[in-house]
Amino acid sequence: MSVESTSWASELPRGPHSLTRAQVEGSQRERLMFAMVEVVAQKGYNATTIADIVSGAGVSRATFYQLFEDKLTCFIEANKIASQMMIGTLESAIVAISDVDGIDAQARMNLLVERYLESISIFAEYAKVFLVEVFSAGPDAIALRLELMNKFVDLVVESGWNKDLPNVDQAQFRSFIDVIVSALSLKVTTAVGVGDMSSLDSFKHSMAVLIAQLIDNTHPA
């Protein structure tokens, strides 16, 4: 996921400064969430401790508990930000692909799969945190992952790409995209979980075959 340390973990100025309390707390929250992601990526959610997080963020344990109720709360807040970033990435990709002339819905969906897998490959460390470690964090964290998948489906459905599929109405297109996103999620989670990122490149072909088959099945007999 496109999580960058430059935006998450800005350093607070040392000594006297003109920052408001809200600005200081905002910076501390960002640093704690970034530290959470960094440590969980290295150790896993269950093995991560509050001590690990505050050490990585350079703040006190007392500050942590002023800003977050517990480890899970911090993880979920970090997850929400990562989800927003991924949604932004997907939105930009869909807009760019929609602007490409002379290609049909099948080609557009293949391009979107490629862009998504490229993003996962680039940010594999963070993908592991938010796609795999959520299952260790419990139902609230898993619910956020499901919410992201549903938003992914919504974005593609709202793109209007099904206008190139005359035999597919909006409800059918949603089911169509749900199958694609579910297949993507399963493969990516498995690849990231076992550290086999090289398999994602070959998965582009598998997804292209699946998309083609789904489209073929929409044609009247």
Tell me which residue range forms the domain holding 23: 5-67
For the chain, residues with pLDDT lower than 70 are 1-18, 219-221
* Cα 175 to Cα 80, 151, 156, distances in angstroms: 25, 14, 11
* Cα 104 to Cα 28, 96, 150, 193, distances in angstroms: 47, 14, 23, 34
Q: Are both 206 and 180 inside the same structural domain?
A: yes
Instruction: Tell whether 72 is covered by a domain.
Output: no
pLDDT digits (tens, 9 = 90+) for 189-198: 999 999 898 8
CA 70 to chain centre: 22
Q: Are both 58 and 102 inside the same structural domain?
A: no
Q: Are both 39 and 120 inside the same structural domain?
A: no
pLDDT at residue number 22:
86
Q: 50: how many CB neighbours lie within 10 A of its CB? A: 16
Q: Are both 46 and 82 inside the same structural domain?
A: no
Tally of structural domains, the chain: 2
pLDDT digits (tens, 9 = 90+) for 30-75: 999 999 999 999 999 999 999 999 999 999 999 999 999 999 999 9
Q: Are both 49 and 84 inside the same structural domain?
A: no
Instruction: Tell whether 221 is covered by a domain.
Output: no
Instruction: Tell whether 95 is covered by a domain.
Output: yes
